[in-house]
Amino acid sequence: MPYVLTVRLASEHLDELSFLLCDRRIPLESPGLGPGDLFEAEERIEAHLDGLRFAGEPAHELLVESLGSGDQDTVRAAAYALASISEFDGGLDAAVAAFARAEDQALPVYQAALKHASHGVLGKRLAKLLEHERALIRESCLEMLAYRRELDGRTAVPFLEDVDPAVRRAAIAAIAAVGEPADAAALERVALSGRESCAPEAMIALLRLGSVRALEACRSAVSAGGGGTSPLMLTALALAGGPGDRKLLESKLRQPELKVAAAEALGIHGGLESVAPLLQLLEEKEESVRLAAARSLYMLAGAGPTETVDVPPDEEEPIEDATTSAPSGRPGAVPAHAAKVTKVSTGAPAWREWWEAHRASFEPGLRHRRGKPFALGRCIADLESPGRTLAIRRRTQWELEIRSGQRFPFEPDAFVVRQKEGLAAWQAWWKENSARFPAGTWPFAGGAAV
């Protein structure tokens, strides 16, 4: 094929790849879509990589040149291709070198590309940059290597003492993702008594590693109250705590700045005794409080009264609610120009009537999730179900790890093939271990509630 035509063909493949890598972010953030909705786009991504591979050296030259284009989408696509196509001699080195010398504001573009790229030695190249003089490079490499599961906790632990706080936070997140329970001791020394004392992100990291000390510290932090309590700390307690923590979470409803977070935490916690205070919150004037209460009631009950609302024609963001449905009937799907949307009701009278009609079907004393006694198998199902936003799926992953005491490589925004591998591991584990976890309980780290 003539060189000019080959370059033109490679340019078309790069343009399509740029569009698809950008476009795949939409299903990740859409309440009505799930991992399955990404599969077709990701097959097309692979097809365009094959096209670039087939184009050979002209494509290689085009990709290297495109790293300096200044267009973020083009740079992301070029870096992704160079770090995925092993046949391009020097292509990976070019992508990694461009990342290392990129300006600070451009680093997230490279990070978005390299964390998904498939070159077999990319992890080794990134590991060499862990000692880079720029803190942002160290931070980015910790995040990418942990995401790719090409890092272990022992390698991340020394970065807990890094001079830069962002690098220390990245090390905490990395240990949460790839660490073993044995790594919890090092993280406890830093997170429970050092510079990152009581940071909610560190608390969740430790809870994912099964730290009882972290759960006790979390309770103490929430009990202390005051204006400094983080909403994420309430989430952490709901994800890890036992039946007795319900009252502590309910006590935060008296603090206006924590009322929404406390309402959401009660839904995660799942105790039926929380229905009464949640119903009371539906009388509040603040819409955000009423919506948080309604969502938590729906999370507990798995059903409830609905209402139809008008959506402005220029509404950009979908209503983030797993109970939302559009006229198509697909849960959570909100067309860009939908005139009316059916969602969970925030009306107190409607919910009181519904609860009185259905409360007999809920067994007192059990933890409930979506109308049934809580089970870890429900969390696994939620990871692959449509109608769950990326934030909800990530929180579900944390809950599954915290409650089960088990770890499998899984990232809720990974390519579908990789997600399926993680889900298959979780499903196989649950099939073998479900009898160990009675339905409707609050396990912690694979054992009974603490």
Per-residue DSSP letters for 348-406?
A: HHHHHHHHHHHGGGS-TTSBEETTEE--HHHHHHHHH-SS--HHHHHHHHHHHHHHH--
Structure-token pair, residue 16:
């399509």
Q: Say what the pLDDT of residue 386 is.
A: 77
Token duo for residue 114: 């390299």
The percent of the chain in helix, strand and coil, each rounded to the nearest 5, is 65, 5, 30
Q: What is the pLDDT of residue 309?
A: 76
Q: In this model, does residue 34 exceed pLDDT 90? A: no
Mean pLDDT throughout 28-57? 81
pLDDT at position 416 over 50: yes
Is the separation of the CB atoms in 316 and 335 below 8 Å? no
Residue 191, pLDDT > 70, answer: yes
Indicate the range of 5-9, 71-75, 92-96, 190-194 predicted with least confidence. 190-194
Q: Is the pLDDT of residue 10 over 50?
A: yes
**Per-residue three-class SS string for 273-298:** HHHHHHHHHCCCCCHHHHHHHHHHHH
- Domain limits, the chain: 1-128, 375-436
pLDDT of 200-222, one tens digit each? 888 999 999 999 999 999 999 89
Q: What's the pLDDT band for 29 if we cut at 50, 70, 90?
A: low
> Do the Cβ atoms of 85 and 113 come closer than 8 Å?
no
Task: Summarize pLDDT for 230-255 with one digit per residue, the tens.
Answer: 899 999 999 999 999 999 999 999 99
For residues 142 and 174, the answer to whether their CB atoms sit within 8 Å is yes
CA neighbor of 187 nearest in space, from 157, 166, 215:
157
Q: What was the pLDDT predicted at 189?
A: 86
pLDDT, greater one: 336 or 287: 287
- What pLDDT shows up at residue 331? 37
Look at residue 270 and give its three-state secondary structure: coil
DSSP annotation of 307 reads E
